[in-house]
Amino acid sequence: MPPTLDEILAKASTVENPTDEYKKILDNIKQLSTPSTLAADLIRIANSIFSGAGGVVFTRSILGNFTDTLKSFEGHPDLWIEVGQHVVDMISESTSLSSSLLEQSAALRDLVAAAHEANEDFLDAAKALAEIPLDSSQRRVPDAAKASIWVRIVRNYLEVDDSTTAETYLNKLKNVMHTVDDPELQLHFKLSAARIQDSKRQFLAAAQSYHDISFTSAIAEEERLHTLGMAIKCAILAPAGPPRSRVLGRLYKDERSAGLEEYGILEKMFLDRLLVPAEVDKFAQGLAPHQLATTSDGSTVLAKAVVEHNLLGASRLYSNIGFDALGILLGLDGDKAEDTTARMIEQGRLTGSIDQIDRIIYFENREASGEKGSGRAEVLVGKEMRRWDNNVQAVAEDVERLVDALQSEFPEFVASQIAV
C-alpha cells in the first residue's frame, strides 16, 4: 500500500535537506491527490512547510515552487483563492517570517487577485492587490511593476463604480508614469483617467481624453471606434457653451464619426439645431447609468444638457422671446426657462439680457466667450433702436459706394441722371 500524503510529509520534514523532498511532493501532487481533495492537500503541504522544520531559507525557497504549482492549475480560480489566501494569512500571522517573505506574499496575493478577477469579484481583487507591499524598504519594486499593480486596482474599482477610491490610486500612478515606457500601461493609464473624468461628470475633459485615445494604434480598430463613440457621448453631455462647441467641432470633423450611431445627434448639436424628444430618448438608450444620474435640481444629466443646447439653438433663431414661449420650446415652465437662461448668461455660455418686468429675454448676436460674467449685454436699453440705426447706416454706406463706382465708370450718366 503506497504511503499517504501525511506520511510523506512527515518523512520529508525529518530529512537533513527537506527542499528537494518538498519539491518532489509538489511535482507529484496530481498523483498524490484527487480533484476533490486537492485544496485540502495543498493546504496540508503549506502547513507542513510552515511547521518550522526548514527555517527561513527553506520556506522562502519552497514557497516559490508552491506558488508555481498552484498557478499550474489554470481554470480553477476558487482553488487559487482558497489555498492562496490561506498561505497569505499564514505569512501575515508569522511575526518571524512575514518580513522575510515579502516577494512570496506578493506573488500569492497577485494570484488570488487574478482569481477574483476571473470570477468578476472586482472589489475583492482590488483589495487583494492593494495589500501587495510596494513601498517597503525591504523590497525594491520598479516603477513599471508598481504601475502595473495600481492600474489593475484602478480598473477593478472602476468596475464597481467606485471612482473615488480609483482616483486615489490614479494619483499614485501620476507620480510614476513619466518613468514607464510600456505602451500598454500608458494606454490603460490614459483610459482609466478618462473613465474617472467620465464617472465624475467632467464630461468635457473626458471627451477630449477619449478622443485622443481613439487615435492610438496600439488598440484594435473596433476599440478605437468604441472610444470615439464614448468621446461623442461625453461631449453631448457636457455643458453647452464655447468650450463644448470646440470639442464638438473636432469630433464632427473626424471622418470616422459619420459611421457611428451617435453621429446624427452630434451633427445637430454642432450645427445648433433643436433636438426633439424622440432622438434624445434613442440616444439615452446607449448611455451608462452614471450618465443618466439625477442631478441636484431633480433633472438628469442628459435632460439638462439637452435643455441648455436647445436654449443655445433658440438664441440663434430668435432675437427675443418671452419666458413662457421659451419654456414651451424647452419643455419647462417659464420661470425655470428664465433661471436656466440667467445661469448660462452669468457663466458666459450665452450672451443676452433679461427684462424681468416684461418677461422677455433678449439674445445678443455675438458668440459667448465662456468666461464668467461675459455673457451680459453691456447696454440693456435701446438695443433694437441701435440695431435699426446700424442697419440704416449700412444701407446708406452701400448706396454711397455704388454711386462712387458708377461715377468712376460712367461719369456722363451720373452727371445727367443723379444729383451729386
- How far apart, in Å, are the Cα atoms of 144 and each of 114, 154, 173, 396? 18, 15, 10, 72
- How far apart, in Å, are the Cα atoms of 365 and each of 72, 247, 301, 353, 399? 71, 22, 28, 12, 25
| The predicted structure's pLDDT at residue 127 | 95
CB within 8 A of 295, min separation 6: which ones?
A: 301, 304
> For residue 258, is pLDDT > 60?
yes
d(CA 125, CA 142): 22
Q: What is the DSSP string of 184-231?
A: HHHHHHHHHHHHHHHHTT-HHHHHHHHHHHTT-TTS-HHHHHHHHHHH
Which pLDDT band, with edges at 50, 70 and 90, does 380 fall under? very low
| The predicted structure's pLDDT at residue 57 | 81
**Which residue's entry shows cell 522562502?**
60
Highest mean pLDDT among 108-117, 287-296, 352-361, 378-387: 108-117
d(CA 177, CA 95): 35
CB within 8 A of 80, min separation 6: which ones?
A: 70, 71, 73, 111, 112, 114, 115
Highest mean pLDDT among 22-26, 45-49, 119-123: 119-123
| The predicted structure's pLDDT at residue 408 | 83
| The predicted structure's pLDDT at residue 125 | 96
For the residues 241-265, what does the mean pLDDT come to? 91
For the residues 214-221, what does the mean pLDDT come to? 89
Q: Which among 378, 259, 269 is positioned nearest to 313, based on CA atoms? A: 269
> 320-322 and 360-363: which strand pairing?
antiparallel
Q: What residues pair up with 376 in beta bridges, in sequence order?
A: 352
Which pLDDT band, with edges at 50, 70 and 90, does 240 fall under? confident
For the residues 191-218, what does the mean pLDDT come to? 93
Q: What is the DSSP string of 265-286?
A: HHHHHHTTPPPPHHHHHHHHTT
For the residues 210-217, what does the mean pLDDT come to? 93
For residue 64, how many other CB atoms are within 10 A of its CB?
12
| Beta-strand runs (E) in 75-222 | none
Which pLDDT band, with edges at 50, 70 and 90, does 381 fall under? very low
pLDDT, the chain, mean: 86
Name the grid cell of 233. Answer: 457621448
d(CA 62, CA 48): 11
> For residue 198, is pLDDT > 90?
yes
d(CA 276, CA 416): 60
> For residue 223, is pLDDT > 70?
yes
| The predicted structure's pLDDT at residue 403 | 81
The string of pLDDT tens digits covering residues 97-140 is 777 788 888 999 999 999 999 999 999 999 999 999 887 667 78
| The predicted structure's pLDDT at residue 379 | 43
The string of pLDDT tens digits covering residues 181-190 is 899 999 999 9
For the residues 405-418, what does the mean pLDDT come to? 79
Q: What angle do CA 77, 82, 83 make, to 5 degrees?
A: 100
| The predicted structure's pLDDT at residue 374 | 53
The string of pLDDT tens digits covering residues 302-337 is 888 889 889 988 888 888 899 999 888 888 888 888
| The predicted structure's pLDDT at residue 232 | 96
Residue 331 near residue 340, CB atoms below 8 Å = no
The string of pLDDT tens digits covering residues 53-93 is 567 788 888 888 999 999 999 889 999 999 999 999 988 88
